[in-house]
Amino acid sequence: MSKAKIRLIDKDVDCKLSKNFKHSEISCHCNYDDCTFTIVVQKTLDCLQTTRAVIYANKPFTPTNVYRCQHHNADLSKSSKKSRHKKGLAADIPCPPNMPFDEFIARLENVWQRVLPYKSKSFCHCDNEIP
Ligand SMILES: [Zn+2]
Ligand SMILES: [Zn+2]
C-alpha cells in the first residue's frame, strides 16, 4: 500500500495513522475554531515509529507536540515563526525516565535529521527538513 507523503486530516476525526499512533496523539493541542485540520507527514510518522522502537523499546509513548496550527504556534513566544511543527515535520519527544539524556540525544540523532535538546525540560525537539 502506498501512502501519500502529506495528508490533511480533519481535526475532529480520530483514526489510526500508523501501527502505533493515532490522529489525536499528533494533532494540535489548541481549541481555536480556525484549527480544523492536521498536516500529517508520512516521514514524521515513520520517524515516530522508529523512535518508539529504538528509544522506547516498542512500548507506548506519546509525543508532547507534533502538528501545531499557525494560530497556536503564534501564541508560543519561544516557538520559531518558521517552526517545522506548523508543517507537520517536527515532534517533541520526552526522554524515557531510565535513559541518560546524552544517550537519548544520540539515539534520536540516528532517527531525525535535526535534534534540539532541552535538557532542563527532559525532552528534545526533533524534525526533518523535507517530507
Ligand atoms: Zn491549533
Ligand atoms: Zn518542537
Q: Please give the C-alpha separations between residue 54 and each of 47, 74, 79, 111, in angstroms, as whole numbers.
A: 10, 33, 27, 9
Distance 119 CA to ligand 2 centre (A): 13
> 32: how many CB neighbours lie within 10 A of its CB?
12
C-alpha cell at 3: 501512502
For the chain, the structural domain boundaries read: 6-127
Distance 84 CA to ligand 1 centre (A): 14
Domain covering 6-127: architecture: 2-Layer Sandwich (3.30)
One digit per residue, the tens of pLDDT, for the chain of length 131 reads 557 899 999 999 999 999 999 999 999 999 999 999 999 999 999 999 999 999 999 999 999 999 999 999 999 877 788 899 999 999 999 999 999 999 999 999 999 999 999 999 999 999 999 88
Amino acid identity, position 73: N
Q: Read out DSSP for 16-74?
A: B-SSS-BHHHHS-----TT--EEEEEHHHHHHHHHHHHHTSTT-----SB----HHHHH
C-alpha cell at 58: 516498542
Distance 1 CA to ligand 2 centre (A): 30
Distance 30 CA to ligand 2 centre (A): 15
